[in-house]
Amino acid sequence: MRKTCRTLLLVSLTVLLLGSPSIAARKARLNQSGNGYYQKGEYDKAIREYSRALKKNRKDAAACYNRGNAYYKIGKYDLAVEDYTRALRINPKDAEAFYNRGLARYQLGQYTGAIEDYTKSLELNPGDAETHNNRGNVHSKLGQYDDAIDDYTRALKSRKKYAKAYKNRGFAYLEKKDFDNAIRDYSRAAELDAKDVEVYKYRGLAYLRKGEAGKAIDDYRAAIKMGPRDAELYYNRGNAYAMKGDTAAALKDYERTVSINPKFADAYYSRGNILFKKGDYSRAARDYDRTLALKPEDVQVLYNLGLAFYRKGDYGKAIEQYTKAIRLSPRYDKAFNNRANSYLRAGRFEDAISDYAKAIEINPGFGEAFSNRGNARFQAGRLDGALDDYNEALRLNPNNAEIFNNRGIIHAQRGESELARDDFSQALKIKPAFTEAFYNRGNVYFDKGDYEKAIQDYSKALEINPAYSEAYNSRGLAFYRLAFFREAAADWKKSINIDSSYEYAHLWELLALRKVSKKDYEAEFEKFRHHVLDHKSADWIRVISRYYLGSGGATEEDVLSAAKGEESEKKVKESLCEAFYYIGEERLWKGDRKGAEQAFTKSLETGMSAFSEYGNSRAMLDFMKQGKI
C-alpha cells in the first residue's frame, strides 16, 4: 500500500551549483558518478561518491538528497532522514525532499512526522496524486480512515486511473466495515490493473466479511492463480469455505496453508475450530497445541484447548488450560466459568462454586454463571443457594427454558409440586420440544397420583425422543398404577430393548405379564434368566432377581437378610421397602393373598415414599381391595 521511494537523480546540477567553477565542476563529476552507481543498484558506491561531493561542498543540496535516496534503498532510514533534513535546510522549498523524508519516516514508524512531511510537500506541490496516496496510507496506518479516504479521493481527483489509490481507499472502507464501497473500489482497481493479486485478495476479504462466501471464494481462486505460494490466500479461502459450510474444502485449504507456511498459527487454530465443531476433540486439541507452540500466550487458544479437553472428558487437563488462560487474563469471566464446569464434572463442588463466584464478581450480569453455580449448589445438596442462583439467572435471562427446568427440579425436591409444575410448564412454553421438561412435569403429576396426566407428559417426551428409556420406565409405572398391566409390560419391554442393563425393568415387565399372559410371561422369564446368567452383578437388585428366578436357592429369608445387612439404617429401610414389595408380588403370584397383603403393608411401614416400590405396594393393596387382582 505504500509507494516506493521516488528519486530525482538527473537534477540539473548547474542550477544548484554554488562556489568557484573549479570546485563546482569537480562536484558535478562526483554527483554524476554517484548517479551512475545508483542507477545500477550499487548503492554503497553511490553513497561513497555522494559523500565525497559533500566533503567538497557541505551545502550541496542535490548530494544530500541523492545520498538520502541511496540510504533509503539499503534500509538505513534514519540516515536517509538526516540527509533529507540537510537538503531541506539548504533548500526548504524542495517538495521532493519533504516527500521522500515522509517515506523514510513512515518506515521508521514516525507517522506524525511523515504526515507533516507529506502535508508540507503538498503545500509546495498541490494536488500531487502520489503524495495524497501516501499520506492516506499513513492515516490508514493510524486508524484514521476518514482522513485516509479523503486523501485517496483527492489523489483520484488528480489521477482518475490511479489503481493503487482505488485499492488503498478500498482497504480504508474495508476497515470501516463499509463493504459495499470497499468492493466497488477494489473492482475499479481490478479493471485498471487486472494482475494485482492484492486487489482480489482484499476484495475477497470484503466479500467474506460481508457474508458472501461464494464471491469471496471466486476472488481467492483468481488470486491463487497469480500467487500459488501465498499461504494467506489459501487461509482466507479456507475461511470462506468454512462460512459456506464446506468443511472438507476448508480443511483442505488450511492444510495447504500450513504446508506452505508451517508457522501460520491462525491456520492451525481455524482448522482446530472446525475439527472441534465436528466433534473430533483429539485432533482439535492437537491443532490448538500447534497454535500455542507459535503463540504461547494466546488466551483464546488456551480457552479453546481447555474446552476440547472438557469435551473429551479430561477435566484435569481442561482445568490446567483454563488456569493458564486466567493467569494471562485475570478478568476472563468465561475462563472462570468453564474452569468451574470442569471442577463440577470432576466432583469438586466447592472449587466449582468458588470459580462461578469469581466469574459473577467480574461480570455481575453473567446469567450462565448464576445458572451453573445453581447446578453446583444443587449437586452439593445446597438447595436454598441453588434456588437463589436460579432466581437470579432467570431475572437476567427470563426466556431460558433450561433454567426454568432446573428450578422446577429444586421445587420438586422441596415438595413444592405446584411451583415445580409451573416451572416445567413455563420451560415448555419457551421450548415446546423440551423432552426433559415433559418428563419432569410427568414426574410431578406421577408423584401427585395423577397418572393420566403423567402418561400424557411421558408420551410427549417419547414423541420427541423415542429412545428415552427412563420415560418408558416411568410411563410403565404409571400404567401399572392404573392396572393397565399390558401397556405397562409393553413400555418396560421397550425400555429393555433400549437399555437392557436396567434390571428393575426386567422384573417389572415380568410382574406385569404375570397378570395378563402366562405364555408371554414364560417367554420373557426365560430371556431374563439368560440375562442374569450372562451379566454378572453385585448390585442389590440381583438378590431380588435370583429370588424370582429361583436360582441359587434364594429364599425370602435370604432377601430380607441381604436387605438388613446394608451399611446404614437408611439403606436398610430402602432395601426393605423393595424387598417386602417383591416378596408381596411373589406371594400374590403363588395365591397367598394374606401373606402378600402383609408384605405390601411392611413395605409401606418403611416410610420410603420416594421409592417406586412403596407406591406400587400401595397400589397393589388398593387393587386387592377393589378386586382388580
pLDDT digits (tens, 9 = 90+) for 369-386: 999 999 999 999 999 999
Q: How many structural domains is the chain composed of?
A: 1
Run of H or E residues at 368: helix 367-379
- The answer to whether residue 6 is domain-embedded is yes
- The answer to whether residue 477 is domain-embedded is no
- The answer to whether residue 74 is domain-embedded is yes
- The answer to whether residue 45 is domain-embedded is yes
Phi and psi dihedrals of 444, rounded to 5? -60, -50
User: pLDDT digits over 487-519, tens only?
Assistant: 999 999 999 999 999 999 999 999 999 999 999
- The answer to whether residue 286 is domain-embedded is no
Classify burial at 539, counting beta carbons within 10 Å of its beta carbon; exposed 0-12, middle 13-18, buried 19 or more.
exposed
Residues in contact with 56: Cβ distance below 8 Å, sequence separation at least 6, in sequence order: 23, 26, 27, 30
User: pLDDT digits over 550-574, tens only?
Assistant: 866 689 999 999 999 988 999 999 9
What single-letter amino acid sits at 163? A
**pLDDT category of residue 539 using cuts at 50, 70 and 90:** confident
- The answer to whether residue 108 is domain-embedded is yes
Eight-class DSSP state of 5? P
Q: Classify residue 159 as left (phi > 0), alpha (psi -120 to 50) or beta.
A: beta
Give the dihedral sign, CA 428/431/436/439.
positive
The predicted structure's pLDDT at residue 17: 20
First vs last Cα of the chain: how many Å apart?
91
For range 15-44, the mean pLDDT: 60
Residue for grid cell 509507494: 3
Across 21-30, 225-234, 533-542, least confident range: 21-30
Residue 21 structural domain: 1-126
User: pLDDT digits over 290-339, tens only?
Assistant: 999 999 999 999 999 999 999 999 999 999 999 999 999 999 999 999 99
User: pLDDT digits over 191-209, tens only?
Assistant: 999 999 999 999 999 999 9
User: pLDDT digits over 96-143, tens only?
Assistant: 999 999 999 999 999 999 999 999 999 999 999 999 999 999 999 999
Return the SS3 of 125: coil
Report the chain's mean pLDDT, rounded to a whole number.
93
The predicted structure's pLDDT at residue 551: 65
At residue 352's C-alpha, the angle toward residues 349 and 357, to 5°, is 125
Cα distances from 147 to residues 2, 66, 124, 143, 150, in angstroms, run 16, 31, 20, 9, 5
- The answer to whether residue 63 is domain-embedded is yes
Strand segments, DSSP code E, in 165-316 are none
Phi and psi dihedrals of 309, rounded to 5? -65, -40
The predicted structure's pLDDT at residue 454: 98
Nearest C-alpha neighbor of 471 from the set 421, 435, 501: 435
- CA atoms of 626 and 221, how far apart (whole Å): 81
- % of the chain residues with pLDDT over 90: 91
The predicted structure's pLDDT at residue 554: 80
CB 144 within 8 Å of CB 154 = no
CB 488 within 8 Å of CB 512 = yes
Residue 20 pLDDT > 50:
no
Here the CATH number for the domain that contains residue 26 is 1.25.40.10
- Alpha carbon 362 to its chain centroid, in Å, reads 20
Nearest C-alpha neighbor of 90 from the set 67, 113, 115: 67
Residue for grid cell 468465561: 334
pTM for the full model? 0.80
Residue 4 pLDDT > 50:
no
Residues in contact with 568: Cβ distance below 8 Å, sequence separation at least 6, in sequence order: none
Cα distances from 333 to residues 320, 353, 360, 363, 569, in angstroms, run 16, 14, 7, 7, 44
- The answer to whether residue 121 is domain-embedded is yes
Q: Which three cell numbers stand for residue 581?
A: 414389595
Q: Please spell the DSSP secondary structure of 491-533, one letter per residue.
A: HHHHHHHH-TT-HHHHHHHHHHHHTT-HHHHHHHHHHHHHHHH
Residue 19 pLDDT > 60:
no
**pLDDT category of residue 264 using cuts at 50, 70 and 90:** very high
The predicted structure's pLDDT at residue 3: 31
Cβ atoms within 10 Å of 296's Cβ, excluding its own:
11
Cβ atoms within 10 Å of 589's Cβ, excluding its own:
15
